[in-house]
Each structure stands twice: as C-alpha cells, then as structure tokens.
Amino acid sequence: MKAILQRVTSASVEVDGTVVGQIGTGLLVFVGVAKGDGEADCRYLVEKLRTFRIFSDEQGKMNRSLMDVGGAVLLVSQFTLLGRTTNGRRPSFDDAAPPDEARGLYEQMAADLRATGTSVETGRFAAHMRVALVNDGPVTFTLDSREKPS
C-alpha cells in the first residue's frame, strides 16, 4: 500500500457538490492499494500514521505524532498512486489491486484507525472527488508498506 500524507490545518472532500468528509488539524491521507497487499500492509500504515512524528513541538521541531496532537485523519482512496509512468504518455495501472480488494483494505484501514480512537473521515471509494486542503508547512510525506523494515 502506498500513502501520501499531508499535515493539514483543515481538509475536506466533496462528491457531487456535497461534503462527505472534513477534518481540522491532522493528516490528509491518500492511499493506493497494490496487487498483493494484505492486512499486514494495512496494519503497518495504520501504526505509522498514528505514531509518525511530523507535528511541531514548542521549538518548531517535528517531535509530535497525530496521537500527541489529538489530530484527525481524512482518508481518501487514490488508485493513481500505483500508476506507472515510465513507458509512453499514458500511465499504466496494472499494479493497482482490483477494486473489490482495494475497497476492502481501504475500509479496513479506516476501521483499524477508528479502533485506536483516531477520529477518521473518508472520501467515497471509486467516486470522482474534489479535495480541498490547507497544507501546514507545507509538510508532505510518502509511505510505502513494501518499504518497511524487515
């Protein structure tokens, strides 16, 4: 699973003109599910998102986690994170998991985050969404469950 996380002061996602998810301080997380991803990949990203120290302390250093600041997560599915762009002029999405598999892991990720007490809002899987955000910093990181330490 790949995730792009952005530290935000606010973020929202709308579908067909209706806001379906919105947060204040926290993380906007775009997540893409690859073929072969499973529950272990989901657990890895959930733990990393909760404990990754990217929020500033009193000295302006990134020493605080989402848990430390009581932030929320806006989770948005984005299969284009798995797009290969090396050949031709059109991306290939062969590495993306089939929609039913991806939906299951996306929903599992949201449920696992909620089970930890994290406030989670979501986009709508497979919908055309409009995402608005105020990136704080800007601070943006990429996480890949396949690059986790052994």
Residues carrying an active site annotation: 78-80
d(CA 25, CA 27): 7
For residue 96, what is the DSSP state? B
- With residue 103 as reference, give the H or E element that holds it: helix 99-115
Nearest 5°: the CA angle 121, 66, 116 is 65
Tokens of 63: 């020493």
Chain-centroid distance of CA 69 in Å reads 18
Which amino acid, 103? R
